[in-house]
Amino acid sequence: MSRTPYIAANWKMNKTVAEAAQFIDTLLPRIAATQSDVVVCPPFTALAAVVERRYGTAVKVAAQNMHEEESGAFTGEISAPMLVELDVEAVVLGHSERRQFFGETDEALARKVPAALAADLEPILCVGESEEARDGGETEAVLERQLQTDLAGVDPVALSRVVIAYEPIWAIGTGRVATPEQAQEACACIRDVVRLRGAAADQIRILYGGSVKPGNAAEILSQPDVDGALVGGAALDPEDFAAIVEAAG
């Protein structure tokens, strides 16, 4: 089955509103002909500006995190209805930087993924192993454990609306990209786990993330189970990001 490629730009804590607007204005003409889903994940402060600029284009906008409750005493947090009100369509959940630096747990993700789906936000769920786990031959076990917990509350039909990003921690922001074979193996493993949950595994988009650049994107994206990329560093430059979108075909 052919799946529409999905290329997402994770800006992390980068870009002011003015810089975000400039990026979008440069990017849009460069990707006008793409058939892929192109997603931009700005910091919260730039979401509205990016949403405003992409109206009438194929670009979707995603937040980088959200809280599972709709409202309440959670200082500093943002909820799904707040994102939906801005016309944000998707949300990154479980990025390894949130797991590593901000105490994001699989148990919290088990609440966040259904909350996003209930609000009609497309979750981009990130999973991935540490270097120690890979060296210890535990990659598949780690992926299975994360997916089983994070997706525990999602029924098989809703599961086909989740985008899953395989992001090996050792490849994120390090310049050390997984080989196309490693990316393929891990994405195939993720598809198998999803299939065992009874979901339409052939429909689910599974992305690779970790030091994707214009020079290595095409080879990684040509793998049969790699349906797109979640791009950090190289997504800060609109020309580089456009080149990665082009590599997806």
Angular region, 184: left φ>0, alpha ψ -120 to 50, beta rest: alpha
Nearer to ligand PEP, 53 or 99 (CB): 99
Supply the angle between the helices 180-196 and 214-221 in degrees, to the nearest 10: 50
Out of 113, 159, 172, 242, point to the residue binding ligand PEP (CB under 6 A): 172
To the nearest whole angstrom, how small is the minimum distance from the Cβ of residue 75 to ligand PEP?
A: 25
Q: Is 232 near ligand PEP (CB under 6 A)?
A: yes
SS3 213: coil
Q: Is 62 near ligand PEP (CB under 6 A)?
A: no
Out of 210, 214, 228, 238, point to the residue binding ligand PEP (CB under 6 A): 210
CB atoms within 10 A of CB 78: 18
Out of 5, 209, 214, 228, point to the residue binding ligand PEP (CB under 6 A): 209
How far is residue 167's CA from residue 238's CA, in Å, rounded to a whole number?
A: 22
Of the candidates 68, 104, 122, 167, the residue annotated as catalytic is 167
Q: Is 211 near ligand PEP (CB under 6 A)?
A: yes
Q: Is 216 near ligand PEP (CB under 6 A)?
A: no
Instruction: Give phi and psi for 91, each to the nearest 5.
Output: -150, 130
Could you give the maximum distance between any two Cα atoms of the chain, in Å? 48
Q: Measure the CA angle with vertex 159, ends 90 and 213; round to 5°.
A: 50
Q: Is 10 near ligand PEP (CB under 6 A)?
A: yes
Q: Is 230 near ligand PEP (CB under 6 A)?
A: yes
Active site residues: 95, 167
Return residues touching ligand PEP (CB under 6 A). Answer: 10, 12, 167, 172-173, 209-212, 230-234
